[in-house]
Amino acid sequence: MPKLAIVYLSTQGNTQMMAEAIAEGARERHVEVKVNNFHEWDPAEIEDYDAIAVGSSTFYYTMLDPIAKFIDRIIEVGVDGKIGAAFGSYGWSGEAPVKIAEKLRSAGVEVIDPVLRIQYTPTEKDLFECNRLGKDLAERVKNR
């Protein structure tokens, strides 16, 4: 069974809500999913996954520094050729998911476009879009 890693850093719980909805969508398409805050991940685990979705809140026009460092560590382990997605919540500007996608692409990850950016607390419609992203990731990784 294909495996999807969902890693996030959520300052107010909004990006976490997105991560959970992405996971639900992927599970509905019969993909094994591990979803956790980046603190609970060992970057070496990424080798065991076919796809990765990374999420962060936007802070001062970029992703939060701890998630940037985590991405650097998984890139060192090796992510080339994996399927990926970037997501995150924001209050004003929303650049974090774009920066995450750029960083993953530069490491050889096939990132699904568009990145998923949600302002403030996700609505029911927003969570539906997150669920759809999970399904898209699942279908993409299963059709490799």
Residue 47's identity, in one-letter code, is E
User: DSSP 3-state assignment of 112?
Assistant: coil
Per-residue model confidence as pLDDT tens digits over 75-119: 999 999 999 999 999 988 889 999 999 999 999 999 999 999 999
Identify the pLDDT of residue 61.
Answer: 85
Q: Is the pLDDT of residue 128 over 90?
A: yes
Measured CA to CA, the distance from residue 47 to residue 61 in angstroms comes to 30
Q: Which residue has the tokens 């065991």?
A: 48
Per-chain mean pLDDT for the chain: 95
> Among residues 143, 144, 134, which one has the least CA distance to residue 32?
134
Structure tokens, 136: 């898209």
List of domains in the chain: 3-142 (3.40.50.360)
Global pTM?
0.95
